[in-house]
């Protein structure tokens, strides 16, 4: 099965273009400079994104791996006004290991440690994949920021000076554009690192909102067309060039307690998320964290996430912002 991917390219002189990749072949598309532009063109023409891409003239062939190494591949979606790109996500959506599920069910059955998180997880197992035409259980939801918080697939993460942790979250992200009539259109999926502060979150679950106000990164490839139900990848952390932690992760609907459609419904049911022309990057959650294995990240650590059928990684180095005094002035 072939997997079509769209990539955004920025040359050394700043000129932008879009690449269509299929299996090992890739070429520039003529007459289009951004994925969003291509998507809006497809919506206006009543076409699929694939048809719109194939309808562009085929430009020169390109080696996307070489362009990635040169730093010429940027996030596969963006907006010229970052305020019109929203980063959001859902949690407690993945099944995790059979052992973990068994422990949760046994604890719930015994009435021990039935936390809000556990109840939400079990409710998702029960009602996260509703029948067609039905509305399922709503998931946990969080806001991460606008387009200013989306960093490129090879750029550095900058955690705030006050952050207690900078931890990776290997995920899939759905990419969306809102049509002129307010209809959300899913363009496809990208692999992602939904970077978070797990120490802050663990201190008190009501601090989840604070812990999620962090940058995030998505891989350079936007998978379009038919999407696989099962995706298997690897998340690793390198320190000084050596791997200090590595673990496989699973995603895709086959490994989730919620369907994409249910998660999308509970996000886009809000009018403010259906503003014409806006871009949404929505993270679908994970069950695999180095933090759960006792890893404490350090400045300079490199996060690297890979997952077939994506051919390129999302790779980000951890840095910390300088402390700044914030003073509110009365007018």
pLDDT at 99: 43
Domain contains 131: yes
The CATH code of the domain that includes 83 is 3.90.850.10
Domain contains 65: no
Q: What digits encode the pLDDT tens for the residues 3-43?
A: 899 999 999 999 999 999 999 899 999 999 999 999 999 99
pLDDT at 124: 81
Domain contains 32: no
Domain contains 278: yes
Instruction: Give the domain extent around 195.
Output: 79-320
Q: What digits encode the pLDDT tens for the residues 172-212?
A: 999 999 999 999 999 999 999 999 999 999 898 899 999 99
**List of residues 6+ apart from 33 with CB closer than 8 A:** 16, 17, 18
Closest C-alpha among 54, 72, 76, 68 to residue 7: 76
Strand partners, 159: 320
pLDDT at 107: 55
Domain contains 183: yes
pLDDT at 110: 59
Alpha helices in the chain (DSSP H): 35-45, 49-55, 64-70, 98-110, 116-127, 198-203, 208-212, 260-268
Least-confidence region, from 99-113, 154-168, 269-283, 308-322: 99-113
| Structure letter (DSSP) for residue 252 | S
pLDDT at 113: 64
Domain contains 130: yes
Number of independent structural domains in the chain: 1
Domain contains 182: yes
Domain contains 184: yes
């Amino acid at each position: 099965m072939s997997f079509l991917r769209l990539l955004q390219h920025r040359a050394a002189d700043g000129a932008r273009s879009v690449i269509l990749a299929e299996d090992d072949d890739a070429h520039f598309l003529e007459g289009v400079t951004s994925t969003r532009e291509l998507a809006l063109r497809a919506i206006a023409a009543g076409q699929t994104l694939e048809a719109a891409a194939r309808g562009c003239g085929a430009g020169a062939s390109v080696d996307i791996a070489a362009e990635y190494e040169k730093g010429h591949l940027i996030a596969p979606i963006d907006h010229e006004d970052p305020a019109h790109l929203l980063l959001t996500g859902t949690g407690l959506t993945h099944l995790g290991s059979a052992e973990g599920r068994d422990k949760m069910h046994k604890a719930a059955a015994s009435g021990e440690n039935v936390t809000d998180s556990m109840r939400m997880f079990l409710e998702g197992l029960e009602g996260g994949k509703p029948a067609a035409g039905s509305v399922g259980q709503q998931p946990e939801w969080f806001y991460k920021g606008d387009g200013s918080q989306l960093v490129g697939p090879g750029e550095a993460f900058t955690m705030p000076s006050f952050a207690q942790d900078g931890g990776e979250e290997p995920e899939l992200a759905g990419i969306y554009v809102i049509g002129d009539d307010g209809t959300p259109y899913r363009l496809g999926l990208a692999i992602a690192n939904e970077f978070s502060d797990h120490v802050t979150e663990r201190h008190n679950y009501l601090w989840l909102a604070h812990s999620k106000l962090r940058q995030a990164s998505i891989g350079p490839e936007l998978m379009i067309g038919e999407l696989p139900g099962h995706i298997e990848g690897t998340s690793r952390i390198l320190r000084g060039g050596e791997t200090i932690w590595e673990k496989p992760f699973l995603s895709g609907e086959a490994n989730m307690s919620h369907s994409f459609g249910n998660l999308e419904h509970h996000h886009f049911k809000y009018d403010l998320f259906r503003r014409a022309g806006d871009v949404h990057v929505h993270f679908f959650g994970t069950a695999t964290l180095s933090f759960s294995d006792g890893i404490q990240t350090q400045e300079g650590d490199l996060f690297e996430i890979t997952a077939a059928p994506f051919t390129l990684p999302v790779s980000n180095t951890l840095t910390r912002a300088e402390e700044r005094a914030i003073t509110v002035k009365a007018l």
